[in-house]
Structure 1
């Protein structure tokens, strides 16, 4: 599917992250009673029998019903013929001539979702959108845009048709399309002949249509397969409608009709502005005053209206140069200026930050990017900045009364988390990374810095797991998951990150219902549709050249060699289907769970056989190459794919490597090292001299983490990118050592990894309350632990040289020594002191 869509949409070379946003999200259709657990079924959502689960799922995702399930309130039939009735929560259309049932209301920008069940025999239906009603017409009363539901052997379901007007738009065909659409006739027909699109319709069952209209951009998805992405400005608003094609005796069934107005602005409800005083005000010369707010944040300023005549300028910047705001910063480091006028009013000006057009664009012409995440219009425009220069005001102006209006999550709690250890630089790294998570919550969902103010799946996942460890009221992760299921992006490995996001949200919250409502939609994210009989995912030439990421930017891939069977892509695939098995089991889909587990075992065996270099004891990048990058080894290690008897060799090899990856991939590199007893190596890499470490970031003076280690590694990088904040989760999860072992944190593992540190202490937020940890790493390893009520934890401590046992509150307890660690046999609760001595 990736190849088909990108070929058709003429994606440019992957020198930018603005490639087509391939919306491959399958919408949730609820609980499945299907018994088919083939690869085909595991990669497509199953529909529920009565539609009730699908209804609940759409409500859970913030949609508004267009149909109340009881009567036809809100709908009308403009024709003198045709019958519409409600049967068991469905709309049934019956007729012997074509007609449409349409809404009473018109809609402009929206996402509409409707399920259709065609009758047996000749049948054709569709969803009208932004359509019109000509009350005076004898026959063609309803006309306009339609998403086709084609029950014939032609199989053009999901096509874009213009009813009673221009007819076929995509695909197009001679005799039934205007000349302007015939220019893509061959292309569009080839697209609909591709198996994934051709077979998208479930001819004898329910089919979910999702149509999105945003300005002139129209997309249609059928059962999760994007069939249309087209620009057409003919209609800006209109009715929603459903069709009976006119076959006598045929009943067309419709259910779960929902709409969501666009654009969504999550910050309207979930973020807030905070007024902040300057930390310093400095007069630079007779015209310019420099104001420092201490840290960068997304926002703008409010200032007393200057009196007098003329104008002044407010300069916003992220970077200084020779004591002044850098007005020509590198990459996408932010600078902008807003002119203001003196006098005329009393009170305060809100001075908006300059607008970056792509960051407010809902349907721009930049390739096929998803819509930008907007901030509330009443805020005025915002941008990331630390410094303000006010140019053109007299020295007696009250500069100290200027305030920054900084935007953060409305529920952010600075006191929810804490970390402190014996290494002061590591403490500075923690503070940088924690604040980076806070500063990037401004939009109400996790966004990709400020160069592209949209969510990306991998970026969002790294934000998510760090948000859990730094704040105590985290709803943003689940909200961003739903956003991305409707606005997905293009990279291969980003799709499995959606499975990771769901798994971690479920483990964090313990909310089985949330998971049930989204489980089916995740099936499209595992890459199963690209896997072969051996269980391994294949990458076409287009995938290898454009979609398979490994790491970003390209120069951070440690020389990775792309092949048809790619080690990193397959590591993500196997981890995703393993997690799908766990989630399926949790919500009672045991046959799915069995099938996913079987598939994971098949793929894991093939993975080891095809990709492990027995002689070298490490993984190759893929088939048909002898090159081994660090990525081909730390991803399998982090995902638990390395056989037990091969772990030591892979770890030993990785311990000899440097930070030959980006801040994104470093999350997984550090995770692999910490989890396999190489915490010292992980901390050494975090604090390494040079320009490829978090030490370099904090020494640079930045207050929000960067997208790359330095501008020379990514010249267009921004300075407000939370995927560079991995220590915000790594230090609590590994150095302090707190990780959930059951959904909702009912049980946990406390496993400190000191890595040579002498002591550490901190606070880790969980949905059940805070975990307090303090440990000292001496000849005796001592741990002071406080757990929230209703949580128990297993404890694993380092087995320092000479230690012979473990004591809890001074009393010896049964414990098992495995390698260089002690594992206390019985879980602990409440407040305890645990010693290994």
Structure 2
């Protein structure tokens, strides 16, 4: 190419040569373009390979336990359920066909349950022609449902994977010492040391560990999915997944990709759609990044369903405004679809294909009416968030509009959906019934007037855990916001069959889709929407949340109840927050908080009305409005309650 340039300079006066050279130069330009394209494609392929390697992790796990069940029949326990496949290496010739069983659940006799029920996974594989001294990847059958077009596709390099903890091999006629078996686990990049939690309650510790591991294990798709049955993102599932993910690792890309997915692929439950803006809000506060807000602002506006609001500021998915054009505006390509109120998890519906054992579902008898209290609580929260996000983008008119809509919605919820005689919220306009959902959500979103908090809380406590593992997120949030820390802790450490401890007791190492199989007969054992304690412990019990976007400032408002000690490590975009708590005789509390550089904060003192002596780094201080300023680095706060 240098030669052509030189030749052009030396022969430019010769028209024939000039014509020939122009043709050659055009060929050169074409060749250059081709080379650039090839180079870019190669770079893209290399980048994709690098990105895939950087995004995902594969771990080779040895069995925790190996047992001989009978001649040529062995059992392997890998300690935890994980999404992956099996790697086999045999040092001497195997003369018979191997029968390999993989599963998540054990039967009563201690072997893998061949009929585990629901969507608990089991697979049997026949293996022939096993090479000697060579790693062999078990060929698994793909599941038809979770590999449909709506499901999230996995990287080709994964092959077919499934969740399993246990393996059995039959007809193994070589010495077990000649066999190496590994569980090859796949997950999105995850830093195990980014977070930790320990407390004086051993059940709470195990529940938190269950939640943390669930977040890691269910990240295998690189986007928040609902579990192995469908491998489809749903907004409500993803929101809880996001909150818990932020509390156990400083990883924010997965949430962003999930939000982008929901912009184009919303799901049909009304309340699920109303979680979209909640996810964007948390992304903004935990990262300080406004790109999702600015890029998708108009779509996000539509997904708040504000166009359905009536003159009272209440919405209904049964409105005449829900047309094909409206469905298109909120992101649906199939404009024949319509929103459906779900209110937690519904009872069996033959037309939907759901096969639920409990006819009541997880609705606590909720009356399904056109103007629904649960839906409108989510709508109110959407309006509050949208008003703030509009302000972030300096859209003053929108900010005022959404702020007014929030006020109108709040007023109507408290006037039209609250029974003042009973002191509780009803399920909808025209209802006489109040479910736990219709009362825990007003608590969680700060809708309850101060004078009615006692009656609403009292009612909620009579219902115990009358909601699903998803609803538990808002039940716990509402209780902590109402100052009911002890009762909330009791729920997180309960040993009933509607508890996280029950998930551990039945043998799952990930959060389950339902409290127990009897409450949802098609449920699975790998559902991140069941990880509420993973974020509640951090955000409410310890009370560590970003007070300003990007954790420029942190708010610490602990409600430790009867715990005698606790330590926690919380990942943030600025670095980890390390904290320690000790309590003596119920009157003296010690908090040690280490904040990363560039982060300041405020520490909330004990409940209003209680007198105490406060020392910060051994210096007596007086708080302003119950807040103690925190500085980067070491903060030692001693609180001694005065005798009454």
- Which interval holds the TM-score relative to the shorter structure? 0.7 to 0.9
Question: Where does residue 181 of structure 2 map in the other structure?
Answer: 402
> Which of residues 416, 425, 440 in structure 1 aligns to 2:203?
425
Deviation at 1:460, TM superposition (A): 0.6
CA distance in 2, matches of 1:553, 1:713: 11
CA distance in 2, matches of 1:588, 1:748: 24
Equivalent pair of 1:265/1:375 in contact (CA under 8 Å): no
Deviation at 1:541, TM superposition (A): 9.1
> Which of residues 453, 457, 461 in structure 1 aligns to 2:231?
453
Deviation at 1:357, TM superposition (A): 1.3
Deviation at 1:776, TM superposition (A): 1.5
CA distance in 1, matches of 2:139, 2:594: 46
Cα offsets for 1:476-503 (capped at 9, x unmatched): 1001111122222110001110000000
2:364 corresponds to 1:561: no
Question: Where does residue 736 of structure 1 map in the other structure?
Answer: 542
> Which of residues 574, 584, 591 in structure 2 aligns to 1:783?
591
> Which of residues 474, 477, 483 in structure 2 aligns to 1:668?
474
Deviation at 1:267, TM superposition (A): 6.2
Deviation at 1:637, TM superposition (A): 1.0
Cα offsets for 1:242-286 (capped at 9, x unmatched): xxxxxxxxxxxxxxxxxxxxxx99967622211111111111111
Question: Where does residue 448 of structure 2 map in the other structure?
Answer: 642
* 1:108-147 paired onto structure 2 within 5 Å: none
> Which of residues 110, 116, 121 in structure 2 aligns to 1:334?
121
CA distance in 1, matches of 2:478, 2:283: 21
> Which of residues 628, 631, 645 in structure 1 aligns to 2:437?
631
2:139 corresponds to 1:352: yes
Structure 2 gap ranges (5+)? 1-28, 31-36, 38-48, 323-337, 348-360
Count, aligned residues: 564
Equivalent pair of 1:359/1:452 in contact (CA under 8 Å): yes
Distance 1:652 1:399, change over 3 A: farther
Distance 1:419 1:834, change over 3 A: same
> Which of residues 63, 73, 76 in structure 2 aligns to 1:278?
63
Question: Where does residue 315 of structure 1 map in the other structure?
Answer: 101
Question: Where does residue 76 of structure 2 map in the other structure?
Answer: 291
Question: Where does residue 423 of structure 2 map in the other structure?
Answer: 617
2:242 corresponds to 1:464: yes
- Specify the SS of the correspondent of 1:712: helix
CA distance in 2, matches of 1:491, 1:443: 23
> Which of residues 252, 255, 260 in structure 2 aligns to 1:477?
255
Deviation at 1:815, TM superposition (A): 1.4
TM-score where L is the length of structure 2 = 0.84
CA distance in 1, matches of 2:265, 2:64: 39
TM-score where L is the length of structure 1 = 0.65
2:595 corresponds to 1:794: no
Deviation at 1:668, TM superposition (A): 0.5
CA distance in 1, matches of 2:77, 2:465: 33
- Specify the SS of the correspondent of 1:763: strand
Distance 1:801 1:596, change over 3 A: closer
Distance 1:400 1:424, change over 3 A: farther
Structure 1 gap ranges (5+)? 1-72, 75-104, 106-263, 363-370, 818-822
Question: Where does residue 813 of structure 1 map in the other structure?
Answer: 621
Equivalent pair of 2:271/2:378 in contact (CA under 8 Å): yes
> Which of residues 516, 530, 541 in structure 1 aligns to 2:294?
516
2:285 corresponds to 1:507: yes
Question: Where does residue 703 of structure 1 map in the other structure?
Answer: 509
Distance 1:662 1:403, change over 3 A: same
Cα offsets for 1:745-773 (capped at 9, x unmatched): 01111111112211111100000011111
Question: Where does residue 443 of structure 1 map in the other structure?
Answer: 221
Question: Where does residue 205 of structure 1 map in the other structure?
Answer: none
Equivalent pair of 2:582/2:589 in contact (CA under 8 Å): yes
Cα offsets for 1:177-211 (capped at 9, x unmatched): xxxxxxxxxxxxxxxxxxxxxxxxxxxxxxxxxxx
Deviation at 1:440, TM superposition (A): 0.5
More strand by share: 1
More helix by share: 2
Distance 1:800 1:602, change over 3 A: closer
- Specify the SS of the correspondent of 1:442: helix
| RMSD of equivalent CA atoms | 2.5
CA distance in 1, matches of 2:50, 2:408: 43
CA distance in 2, matches of 1:562, 1:725: 27
- Specify the SS of the correspondent of 1:556: coil
2:327 corresponds to 1:549: no
CA distance in 2, matches of 1:405, 1:343: 18
Equivalent pair of 1:781/1:800 in contact (CA under 8 Å): no
Cα offsets for 1:270-315 (capped at 9, x unmatched): 2221111111111111132111100000000111156243421221
Deviation at 1:565, TM superposition (A): 0.9
2:217 corresponds to 1:414: no
CA distance in 1, matches of 2:569, 2:346: 34
CA distance in 2, matches of 1:720, 1:790: 37
Question: Where does residue 551 of structure 2 map in the other structure?
Answer: 745
Equivalent pair of 2:94/2:173 in contact (CA under 8 Å): no
Cα offsets for 1:14-71 (capped at 9, x unmatched): xxxxxxxxxxxxxxxxxxxxxxxxxxxxxxxxxxxxxxxxxxxxxxxxxxxxxxxxxx
CA distance in 2, matches of 1:417, 1:268: 23
Q: Which has the higher mean CA deviation after the structures are superposed, 339-348 or 512-521?
A: 339-348
Equivalent pair of 1:781/1:797 in contact (CA under 8 Å): no
Q: Which has the higher mean CA deviation after the structures are superposed, 693-702 or 733-742?
A: 693-702
Distance 1:267 1:670, change over 3 A: farther
- Specify the SS of the correspondent of 1:547: coil
Distance 1:395 1:347, change over 3 A: closer
CA distance in 1, matches of 2:450, 2:61: 53
> Which of residues 663, 680, 691 in structure 1 aligns to 2:486?
680
